[in-house]
């Protein structure tokens, strides 16, 4: 995680209410500066030996690499899925004032 300072973290959930809750609690806990909810989306995936399809909502968190471990722990504890999607995508460049805002809001 030391190769970059900022990242976007994505998860999915099966209800808009849970997406709202995950977004709000992560921002309130200051482990993310911002969360965006996208959906519904259709997910097609392998689960328990079969292909399944579900309507889900994505939540995109904007955070720092330093805050990632705390955000991941927060999502693991707060998420309703047995195996939640938690993917961290590095941000390699960005608008400097926005990145400074990420730093300020996740401390």
Write the pLDDT tens digit of every residue in 38-70: 999 999 999 999 999 999 999 999 999 999 999
Q: Where does the pLDDT of residue 107 fall: very low under 50, low under 70, confident under 90, or very high at 90 and above? A: confident
Q: Are 35 and 26 in contact (CB under 8 A)?
A: yes
Structural domains in the chain plus CATH codes: 6-105 (3.30.70.120)
pTM score over 0.85: yes
The DSSP code sequence of the chain is -TT-SEEEEEEEES-HHHHHHHHHHHHHTTS-SEEEEEEEEEEEEEETTEEEEEEEEEEEEEEEHHHHHHHHHHHHHH--SSS---EEEEE----HHHHHHHHHHT-
């Amino acid at each position: 995680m030391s190769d970059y300072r900022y990242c976007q973290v994505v998860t999915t959930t099966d209800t808009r209410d849970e997406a709202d809750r995950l977004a709000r609690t992560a921002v309130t806990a200051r482990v993310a500066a911002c969360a965006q909810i996208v959906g519904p989306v259709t997910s097609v995936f392998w689960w328990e030996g079969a292909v399944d399809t579900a309507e889900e909502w994505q939540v995109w968190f904007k955070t720092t690499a330093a805050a990632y471990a705390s955000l991941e722990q927060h999502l693991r504890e707060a998420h309703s899925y047995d195996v939640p999607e938690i993917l961290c995508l590095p941000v390699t460049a960005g608008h400097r004032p926005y990145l400074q805002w990420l730093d300020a809001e996740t401390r």
